[in-house]
Amino acid sequence: MIYKNVEFSAIVTKRKNYRERDMLVTMFTDKYGFKTFFVRGVRKRGFKLGAAILPFTHGTYIGSINSEGLSFITATKGIDQFQSINQDIILNAYATYILELVKAAFEDSIDVTNTLWFEKVLKALSLINDGFDAQIITNIIEVQLLGKFGVQPNWRSCVICGETQSQFDYSESYGGILCRKHWYMDKNRLNLDQRTMYYLRKFSIVDLNYLNSIKVNADTKKRLKLTLNDIYDNQVGIYVKARSFIDKMTKVENNLLKKD
């Protein structure tokens, strides 16, 4: 089915050359999920949509959406760019990771028109672009996206007794947190410190629209990253390309800190 002359919001995720003068541009849209657009004559003199199809551009587009195959853009309005993300290789990597992860979560789902998630991703990228800690914003998305992969940990209370006020640890086997008196039930629980547990639980419910500031120390950030990597590796079973670059950069940064 083709939806002609429709207006939609979108974030440009990537693009690649196609033939001599054309491009294929992938966008995350608010109404139609991820779509690839055929854009003709990009490298012709006087091409008018050049700024609108740069990576990490977002705004309102008008065009034809094809439910199968390539879609088309005819006009744009209200276009803006995430300049900081475009200019900083680390911010770029985190933003790319978020978009790749969301695409993986929605790719085979009938729920690709989830406007709520489009708005959440748009807000996450806006926060990263505005100087919020890119790793922490990414971690929040990772925690909240788990349910879309069919993994929905119980972060609120102990999965055994329902306790909400205790020391907790995370159990992959039980799919959630265990209070201290039930730690014995899973010898392979992750043995997380309480600060890391606090943030994981907090991240599961935080609304990015009301996030004014967030500061997490370096040690806790490291443990959050390792924990979420473990959960995605062991329970979700997915590894997107952008994470490899982030992992390498984190390793380099840690080595530099050790030398200092």
- Give the separation between CA 100 and CA 259, rounded to whole angstroms: 33
Q: How many CB atoms lie within 10 A of CB 57?
A: 21
Neighbours of 59 (CB within 10 A): 16
Tens-place pLDDT, residues 8-24: 999 999 999 998 889 99
| The two structure tokens encoding residue 220 | 């806790």
Helix or strand run (H / E) with residue 169: strand 168-171
- Predicted confidence at residue 114, as pLDDT, reads 74
The predicted model gives 186-204 an average pLDDT of: 98
Query: Given CA atoms 200, 201, 205, 209 in this order, what sign does their dihedral have?
Result: negative
List pLDDT tens digits, range 129-182.
999 999 999 999 999 999 999 999 999 999 999 999 999 999 999 999 999 999
Phi-psi region of 56 (alpha: psi -120 to 50; beta: other; left: phi over 0): left
| pLDDT recorded at residue 20 | 85
> pLDDT by residue (tens digit) across 81-126?
999 999 999 999 999 999 999 999 987 554 544 789 999 999 999 9
Least Cα distance to 95 among 36, 30, 147, 141 occurs for 141
Residue 37 is inside which H or E element, if any? strand 33-39
pLDDT for res 259: 63
Using CA atoms, how far residue 106 sits from 118, 119, 157, 226, in Å, is 11, 14, 28, 24
Spatial separation of the C-alpha atoms in residues 60 and 8, rounded to whole Å: 6
Distance between CA atoms of residues 192 and 210, nearest Å = 27
Whole-angstrom distance, CA of residue 214 vs CA of residue 165? 23
Residue 243 to residue 230: CA distance in whole angstroms = 13
If DSSP codes are grouped into helix, strand and coil, which group holds residue 26? strand
Say which amino acid occupies 97. Y
Report the C-alpha gap between 119 and 206 in whole angstroms.
14
Encoding tokens for residue 250?
Answer: 């984190």
Q: What pLDDT score was predicted for residue 109?
A: 53
Are 220 and 139 a contacting pair, CB within 8 Å? no
Instruction: Determine how β-strand 154-158 pairs with β-strand 176-179.
Output: parallel
Tell which residue, 124, 125, 133, 143, has the closest CA to residue 199. Answer: 143
pLDDT of residue 115: 87
Under a CB-based contact definition with an 8 Å cutoff, are residues 36 and 71 in contact? Answer: yes
d(CA 204, CA 61) in angstroms, rounded, equals: 32
Paired with 73 in beta bridges are 63
Residues in the chain: 260
| pLDDT tens digits, one per residue of 14-69 | 999 998 889 999 999 998 999 999 999 888 887 889 899 999 999 999 999 998 89
**Per-residue pLDDT tens digits for 197-254:** 999 999 999 999 999 999 999 999 999 999 999 999 999 998 899 999 999 988 887 7
